[in-house]
Amino acid sequence: MESQAISVKRAQVEFHNFASFGQPELAFEDYALDNVKRGGLIRNHLDFIGQLSPFLEIGANAGHTSYLLVNEFGADGFALDISADALRHGMVLMDKWNMPKAPVRMAGDALNLPLRDGSLRFVMTFQTLSQFQDLDTVFREVKRVLAPGGVFLFAEEPIRRMLSLRLYRAPYYEKMKPWERNLHDKGLLGFLVKDVIGADQEESFGIRQNHRMGLKDWQHLVERHFPAKEFEIFIPRRGWAEERVADIGRKLDQHGSDWVAARLLGGTLAAFCRKEGTASHAPVSFERFESFLQCPDCKGSFARDAHETLRCAACGYEAANEGGVYNVIKSEERKELYPGDRADLIDFTLPRHEEKLLDGWYELEGVFGNKYRWIGQRASAKLARVRDVPQKLRLRGYAHPAAFEQGQPVRVQVLVNGKPAADWTLDRSGLFVLETAVASEPSYMVELRGSPVWSAPGDDRRFTVNISTIRLVDA
């Protein structure tokens, strides 16, 4: 089983950009709440964890929890995420939260960590493992970089729920229809839905998730890799229905714990897992942080020059300091995940994207990491093939709630070189990612058509949807 395909990694890069920057103020609030929970969790288990430096956070997003460790716990370490732009957003957090220190930030892959064997005392990840199909592969990589006696914390990972009909995927609360919110508030919606409420947003990007893990599955996974562990379980108590089942589950449990309730209702798990061996208490200098790293291509050592560029002496791999972030993803994947200004890509965050736009586009809007242009009934653009393999057209955009006020679904049609290619109907507001196969041609004229048309008060423009990315990807 492939743990994570390149298409999923590409989707993660796009999703983290959107999730971090689509609603910046809301993201700040969420990050602050995350740190309250995560900081409390770490403090409660400090005796088990021991020393925190040097640490690594996998799937760090903007790195907010790594900033917590550096500034409140006095630790040194690395914040790693597949999205370089999400990590760059951490500088905004530093200013907003008045934090003087930052972790070393790296765009990297959890399946190929750019760190030396046995180099870390603490590795943590939150809401990340469910994005991998083969978790043993991730655990082996974490064990590789942990020093003897080091601790791996994973938390906020979903527990598969037994009591569910698994009828459909439900969106997050703000996108729910009135009947869904009513059931949610009573604690009944969880008995109907597949996976985790809100999972469809990540799925819409192409992020394939693993929600197969029940509580015993998590226990067996941990015990295969680590000799010592501590668990905390958090079960849902949304409304009277889940409250009642949770109380029954606690009464049925022979230890009076939430173990039975978690098997019935699901929830999330936090696990602290210690690697075999005796932990060293010798002080560690982090001034030359590159000494903890290894090249993602050849596993050679890095040197850091006067311009803060990391360079592998063995194979010549380079990672410049770009806005405070080092991109240390394997070369062949870095080219696909970070193609730059390329003929087969229109990324509205790049300064020369307008050269590929034809007609029908309004002015550029949005914030760093999620820039977009609105269209009316029609807009067109041009792309060119750069890879000689079967291709799909991938379109990322947003349907505004106002588009649904006429009582009609939103419709997006695509014509490629004058021929109909796809016709999609959207029944909810929010982000959409749409893909369709395209014929083998050297170049493509892409025409987008949207409906229904709507307008905003005080604005004479006529809108349908907005678009933030158009690109060709391997089929």
Q: Domain locations in the chain?
A: 6-274, 345-474
Query: Does the pLDDT of residue 20 top 60, yes or no?
Result: no
Nearest to 120 by CA among 136, 134, 135, 104: 104
Q: What is the pLDDT of residues 123-148, one digit of tens each?
A: 999 999 999 999 999 999 999 999 99
Assess contact for 149 and 179: CB atoms under 8 A.
no
Q: Per the structure block, which two tokens stand in for 101?
A: 């220190």
Sole residue written with tokens 């790195």: 63
Sole residue written with tokens 């501590």: 230
Q: How high is the pLDDT of residue 51?
A: 94
Nearest to 67 by CA among 108, 100, 42: 100
Overall residue count recorded for the chain in this entry:
475
Q: Where are the alpha helices (DSSP H) in 2-115?
A: 6-21, 24-44, 46-49, 64-72, 84-88, 90-97
Q: How high is the pLDDT of residue 25?
A: 65
Q: How high is the pLDDT of residue 17?
A: 67
Angle, vertex CA 461, rays to CA 456 and CA 464, nearest 5: 75
Query: Does the pLDDT of residue 288 top 80, yes or no?
Result: yes
Residue 306 vs residues 229, 289, 302, 322, 392: alpha-carbon distances, Å? 43, 14, 13, 14, 42
Q: What is the pLDDT of residues 323-382, one digit of tens each?
A: 899 999 999 999 989 988 899 999 998 889 999 999 999 999 987 667 899 999 999 999
Residue 125 vs residues 129, 174, 374: alpha-carbon distances, Å? 8, 26, 36
Q: How high is the pLDDT of residue 90?
A: 84
Q: Stretch 83-93: mean pLDDT, rounded? A: 86
Q: What is the pLDDT of residues 436-474, one digit of tens each?
A: 999 999 999 999 999 999 999 999 999 999 999 999 988
- Sign of the torsion angle spanned by Cα atoms 26, 29, 33, 39: positive
Nearest to 423 by CA among 439, 408, 438, 434: 434
Sole residue written with tokens 């806005």: 323
- Between CA 161 and CA 175 the distance in angstroms is 22
Q: How high is the pLDDT of residue 23?
A: 61
Identity of the amino acid at 90: G
Element (H, E) at 230: strand 228-234
Q: How high is the pLDDT of residue 24?
A: 60
158 vs 336 pLDDT, higher one: 158
Question: What own/partner pairs with CB < 8 Å and gap ≥ 24 does 357-361 have?
Answer: 357/381, 358/382, 358/445, 360/448
The CATH number of 345-474 is 2.60.120.260
Q: How high is the pLDDT of residue 295?
A: 98
Percent of the chain clearing pLDDT 90 (strictly above): 76
Q: Per the structure block, which two tokens stand in for 370?
A: 């999620």
Nearest to 166 by CA among 185, 184, 191: 191
Question: Quick one: pLDDT band at residue 85, thresholds 50, 70, 90?
Answer: confident
Assess contact for 70 and 76: CB atoms under 8 A.
yes
Q: What is the pLDDT of residues 374-407, one digit of tens each?
A: 999 999 999 999 989 999 999 989 999 999 999 8
Q: What is the pLDDT of residues 183-205, one digit of tens each?
A: 999 999 999 998 888 887 788 77
Assess contact for 274 and 228: CB atoms under 8 A.
yes
Q: Per the structure block, which two tokens stand in for 375?
A: 């269209």
Q: How high is the pLDDT of residue 27?
A: 78
Q: pLDDT averaged over the chain?
A: 92
- Give the strand pairing for 120-126 and 55-58: parallel
Q: Helix, strand, or coil here: 78?
A: strand
Nearest to 28 by CA among 104, 100, 95: 95
Q: Per the structure block, which two tokens stand in for 65?
A: 């929890």
Query: Does the pLDDT of residue 88 top 90, yes or no?
Result: no
Q: Helix, strand, or coil here: 53?
A: coil
Identity of the amino acid at 338: Y
The CATH number of 6-274 is 3.40.50.150
Sort 318 into a burial class: Cβ within 10 Å, 0-12 / 13-18 / 19+: middle
Q: Where are the alpha helices (DSSP H) in 187-227?
A: 199-205, 215-225
Assess contact for 264 and 161: CB atoms under 8 A.
yes
Rounded to two decimals, the pTM is: 0.89
Q: How high is the pLDDT of residue 217?
A: 97
Q: What is the CA radius of gyration of the chain?
A: 24
Nearest to 387 by CA among 6, 82, 1, 4: 6
234 vs 15 pLDDT, higher one: 234
Question: Quick one: pLDDT band at residue 171, thresholds 50, 70, 90?
Answer: confident
Q: Per the structure block, which two tokens stand in for 389?
A: 């393999």
Q: Stretch 71-100: mean pLDDT, rounded? A: 91
30 vs 443 pLDDT, higher one: 443
